[in-house]
Amino acid sequence: MNSVILMAGSRILVALLLVFSVFMLLRGHNEPGGGFIGGLIGAVGFVIYAIACGTSSAREALRVPPETVAAAGLGVALLGGVWAAVDGDAFFTGQWLFLGATEDSKGLPLSSVLVFDVGVYLVVFGSILSLVFALEEEV
């Protein structure tokens, strides 16, 4: 598609959507959002970029093949589960780390649950992009 406006606009849009997708991923535990939604939003960003500038530049911008991203996501999710097993809990039990916690605040909550959600994000993101890229290239 040869639209200068779309091409110029898509660059900003991709950046915004990617940032927004990470925002959705991180807020997911307490507000609407999460890995699945985040991954979808991130994928939409790259789909727009692929429509505007072509799949080859979208692939270049991604640097890593989307299939690899998806497979790595499954590995990351598994890691989130194994973390609990290493700690001696049942597989996939949430493990929490409150950095700098005080009496009043919980500090910075880091958890195996977040690792798992990052894995979900990557699987959804990678799977959709590998499909869309393959289909667009085929036509």
Partner 1 sequence: MAAAHGTDWRLRAFAPAVLPVVIFVWAAGHLPAVAAGGTVRLAWDWVPSLGVSLSFLIDGLSLTFALLISGIGAVVMLYSGQYLSGHEHYGRFMGYLTAFMLAMLGLVLADNLIALFVFWELTTVTSYLLIGFGHADAKSRRSALQALLVTGTGGLALLAGFILIGSVAGSFELSEVLAQPGVLTDHPWYLAILILVLAGAFTKSAQFPLHFWLPNAMAAPTPVSAYLHSATMVKGGVYLLARMHPGLGGTEPWFWSLTVFGAFTAVFASVLALRQSDLKQVLAYTTLMALGTLTLFLASGVDVAITAAVTFLIVHSLYKACLFLAVGNIDHATGTREVSRLTGGLARAMPVTTVAAGLAALSMAGFPPFLGFIGKELKYKGILAVASEPYVVVAAVLAANALMFAAAAVVAFRPFWGRGTPELEPGATPHEAPWPMWIGPAALALLGVVFGLMPDLAAVLVDPAVVAILPAGTPYELKLWHGVNVPLLLSIATFVLGLGLYLASDRLRAGLAAIEARNPVHFDRGWDRVLDGVKAFAGWQTRLVQSGELRVYLRLTFATFLAALGGTMLARGIGVPAVALPQLLAKEWAVIVLIVAGTALVVLTRSRVAAIAGLGVVGIGVALVFIIYGAPDVAITQLLVETLVVVLVAVVLLRMPRLYSEGRVIHRPVDAVLAVAIGGATTAVLLLVLEVPLDRRLTTWFEETSWPEAFGRNIVNVILVDFRALDTFGEIAVVLIAALSAFVLIKGIRREGRE
Residue 11 or 36: the one with the smaller Cβ distance to partner 1 is 36
**DSSP assignment letter at 111:** E
Tokens, residue 110: 């880091």
CB of 60 to partner 1, least distance (A): 19
Collapse the DSSP code of 99 into the 3-class scheme (helix H, G, I; strand E, B; otherwise coil) and give the result: strand
Query: For residue 137, what are the β-bridge partners?
Result: none
Out of 14, 44, 52, 58, the only residue in the binding site for partner 1 (CB under 8 A) is 44
Span from 1-9, 56-64, 115-123 in contact with partner 1 (CB under 8 A): 115-123
Query: Computed from CA positions of residues 12, 14, 19, 21, in that sequence, does the dihedral angle turn out positive or negative?
Result: positive
Question: In this structure, are residues 86 and 35 in contact, taking their beta carbons and an 8 Å threshold?
Answer: no
* Residue 45 interacts with partner 1 (CB under 8 A): yes or no: no
Q: What is the amino acid identity at position 74?
A: L
Q: Does 79 bind partner 1 (CB under 8 A)?
A: no
List the one residue from 23, 34, 59, 79 that touches partner 1 (CB under 8 A): 34
Crossing angle (nearest 10°) for helices 35-53 and 55-62: 130
Q: Which residues bind partner 1 (CB under 8 A)?
A: 28-37, 40-41, 43-44, 47, 51, 67, 70-71, 73-74, 77-78, 80-81, 91-92, 94, 96, 106, 109, 111, 113, 116-117, 119-120, 123-124, 126-128, 130-132, 134-139
